[in-house]
Chain A
């Protein structure tokens, strides 16, 4: 199981990479493995400012659909346009080319509640 130590995580299996006052968000290697082949990523919240834990989109595997949750509050600046035609990037490279959204972080203090790699690893045990 790939759980990079430089990222933060949520209990809902999102990862967060902080770069100054913006953050990149995607789903973890564990999450993509559990979902199976991802065939559709729907994110229609670009430009919106959402609260922590709000639904920012959904990810569909062949057999299931899962909501995607905001790890922190903030404005969604951008979504990964490559996922529109290549949702399988989430399976193939969940922490890289399979990123989902770029967020302008509202309150850096909210990041303190996120899990580090060790805590996330313990969670999925």
Chain B
């Protein structure tokens, strides 16, 4: 199993460790998922997300290459900004979802899912007729996500970079806690605000200890992948392998907003997206809340409440904030309208649920 620069720290803290995407990762620490979740919602928590993959795309062919393989309009990203994207797979599905950073002129950073690093690397190389310079930096970059309403205040104590001047989905490179060349990015997967830091792995421990020292007044806590999942689910964010995969179209997944067919953009699957937008799709990703008492889980059936299966749950949990069952799933399009009453089939019972527009946490 692969490790991150923080694996020993997680083990020393007593985390429940589990294999995820080939890495030995913390699922939860001693206080449990609900406490970790609420820590991020109300104050600040730190996630080791060093397992994420990073590719550099460089040179004069970087932009035309990215315009073809990335769903969003890469020409619309100024230097210093980031943008959410997916890689269309040429068959209407999604290879992966990712963030593209415009780092400097003719230089982009692609941050991809840990579970897909090898698949993505193969994909970008196989589709690089343009001849962009590609570099897989996944093993040379570590990442921490400092998330929550107190994240900016805490991190500001560790850097002379003015964090107020970094808007959402923007970043800068600077010195933080005495570590140079840290990419400080106003992004995250929690909906609670905060920053993601990218740095060389050898500085990991120094950064971790500085952040936890400065975070003491805020009761900062380390947060595992369990709470990372419940936090993203309360926001309705898609997770690759659940809401999106090689068989789901971004249009079905409600990600039409990251498919841009700008003038002259030769996007893979671009024609298909135009058609799906014009003609509609037969199923759609929805958010739903349980009215009855119960907890939806991935792969449970969704029904019309009268025994007819209309779809499938892709992710579900007890919402730590709302204390009710919440989930995401695909349903036949006529059932996707907000306010529609549906049901979740749980242990042979049809439990009432209602289609809502995420976020579940207001």
Contact = CB atoms under 8 A, between A and B. Distances in A.
A54 interface: no
> Dominant SS at the A interface?
strand
Contacts, number: 36
B33 A63 contact: yes
A40 B33 contact: no
B294 interface: yes
A109 interface: no
A60 B28 contact: no
A123 interface: no
A76 B347 CA distance: 19
Given A36-B28, A39-B295, A40-B293, A62 B347 contact: no
Contact of B297 (A36, A37, A39, A65): A65
A82 to B, nearest CB: 16
Nearest to B227: A62
A36 B225 CA distance: 14
Interface string B2-45: 00000000000000100000000001100011100000000000
A63 B27 CA distance: 10
Chain A residues touching B, range: 10 to 19
Interface in A56-75: 58, 60, 62-63, 65
A84 to B, nearest CB: 9
B350 to A, nearest CB: 14
A58 B32 CA distance: 20
Contacts of A60: 295, 318
B230 A62 contact: yes
B93 interface: no
Contact of A37 (B27, B32, B295): B32
> Dominant SS at the B interface?
mixed
Chain B residues touching A, range: 10 to 19
Contacts of A65: 295, 297
Contact of A62 (B16, B294, B320): B320
Nearest to A67: B347
B188 interface: no
B83 interface: no
A50 B16 CA distance: 35
B347 A58 contact: yes
A62 B297 contact: no
A40 B318 contact: yes
Contacts of A37: 32-34
Contact of A36 (B33, B229, B295, B317): B33
Contacts of A62: 32-34, 226, 230, 317-318, 320
Contacts of B226: 36, 62-63
9 contacts: A36-B226, A39-B318, A62-B33, A62-B34, A62-B226, A63-B27, A63-B230, A65-B295, A65-B297
Interface of B: 16, 27-28, 32-34, 226, 229-230, 293-295, 297, 317-318, 320, 347
Across the A-B interface, give the 6 residue pairs with the lowest CB-CB distance, nearest first.
A62-B33, A39-B318, A37-B32, A60-B295, A37-B34, A63-B226
Given A40-B295, A42-B347, A63-B317, 8 more contacts: A36-B16, A36-B33, A37-B34, A39-B34, A42-B294, A58-B347, A65-B295, A65-B297
